[in-house]
């Protein structure tokens, strides 16, 4: 599961989810609005400091950043050859700071707390007839399903290998799709059985006053 949350009781863990997400949002705008390399280095160091305060395991952090870090090299080289290395350095610093900040928020915030914040943030969409509760539940289900699907895909691959079939995308995708739909059906029953009830939302133009 994208179970990124690392339990803890640090100062960073205790910051409310809404505040962390608002800071992430504001920080990401500021990072790209302001052009100043020493400032970006300072931000990066501050975020690293927060990782230390939150006592987060470096291995889990690096695992999440592995793919992104891989892309930093071509981004920097692209700037070195086509623009200038200073801009390349600044771009890489910005992306790294933003990524680390996002990872920090994810590792120190429970999914249910984030979903609660998103549900509140999406509330104005109810005027358009879009149900904020359903959107937040949908996001949570996406996160819930990714690891399940990965495990199912692995099982299908192993079953096929055991019968002598080597890599074949279609042969994996079709049973995976069927299994995923079945899982979705079961999970929706479980959600209903535990009393989930997304309130009915009526768009503003259909409301009777």
User: Looking at beta carbons only, is 19 or 83 nearer to another protein?
Assistant: 19
Residue 163 carries which DSSP code? T
Least distance (Å) from another protein to the CB of residue 30? 30
Establish if 200 lies at the interface with another protein (CB under 8 A).
Answer: no
User: Looking at beta carbons only, is 106 or 160 nearer to another protein?
Assistant: 106
State the SS3 of the chain: CCCCCCCCCCHHHHCCHHHHHHHHHHHHHHHHHCCCHHHHHHHHHHHHHHHHHCCCCHHHHHHHHHHHHHHHHHHHHHHHHHCCHHHHHHHHHHHHHHHHHHHHHHHHCCHHHHHHHHHHHCHHHHHHCCCHHHHHHHHHHHHHHHHHHHHHHHHHHHHHHHCCCCCCHHHHHHHHHHHHHHHHHHHHHHHHHCCCCCCCCCCHHHCCC
Least distance (Å) from another protein to the CB of residue 26? 27
Establish if 24 lies at the interface with another protein (CB under 8 A).
Answer: no
Residue with tokens 């608002």: 22
Establish if 86 lies at the interface with another protein (CB under 8 A).
Answer: no
Establish if 187 lies at the interface with another protein (CB under 8 A).
Answer: yes
Contact 97, 38 (CB under 8 A): no
Out of 111, 117, 118, 172, the only residue in the binding site for another protein (CB under 8 A) is 111
Least distance (Å) from another protein to the CB of residue 68? 22
Range 117-146, binding another protein (CB under 8 A): 140, 143-144
Establish if 16 lies at the interface with another protein (CB under 8 A).
Answer: no
Establish if 180 lies at the interface with another protein (CB under 8 A).
Answer: no
Establish if 190 lies at the interface with another protein (CB under 8 A).
Answer: yes
Establish if 155 lies at the interface with another protein (CB under 8 A).
Answer: no
State how far the Cα of 109 lies from the Cα of 52, in Å rounded to an integer.
16
Least distance (Å) from another protein to the CB of residue 1? 4
User: Looking at beta carbons only, is 134 or 144 nearer to another protein?
Assistant: 144
Least distance (Å) from another protein to the CB of residue 143? 7
Contact 3, 60 (CB under 8 A): no
Establish if 114 lies at the interface with another protein (CB under 8 A).
Answer: no
- Positions touching another protein (CB under 8 A) are 1-3, 5, 7, 110-112, 140, 143-144, 147-148, 183, 186-187, 189-197
């Amino acid at each position: 599961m994208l179970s990124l949350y690392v339990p803890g009781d640090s100062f960073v863990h205790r910051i409310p989810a809404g505040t962390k997400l608002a800071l992430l949002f504001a920080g990401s705008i500021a990072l790209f609005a302001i052009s100043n390399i020493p400032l970006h280095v300072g931000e990066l160091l501050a975020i690293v400091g927060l990782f230390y305060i939150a006592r987060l395991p470096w291995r889990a952090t690096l695992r999440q950043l592995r793919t992104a870090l891989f892309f930093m090299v071509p981004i920097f080289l692209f700037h070195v050859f086509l623009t200038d290395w200073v801009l390349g350095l600044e771009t890489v610093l910005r992306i790294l700071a933003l990524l680390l900040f996002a990872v920090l928020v994810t590792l120190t915030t429970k999914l249910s707390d984030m979903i609660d914040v998103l549900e509140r943030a999406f509330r104005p969409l109810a005027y358009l007839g879009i149900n904020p509760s359903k959107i937040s539940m949908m996001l949570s289900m996406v996160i819930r399903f990714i690891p399940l699907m990965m495990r199912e895909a692995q099982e299908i691959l192993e079953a096929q290998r055991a019968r002598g079939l080597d890599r074949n995308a279609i042969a994996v995708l079709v049973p995976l799709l069927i299994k995923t739909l079945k899982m979705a059906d079961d999970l929706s029953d479980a959600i209903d059985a535990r009393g989930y009830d997304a309130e009915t939302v009526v768009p503003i133009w259909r409301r009777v006053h």
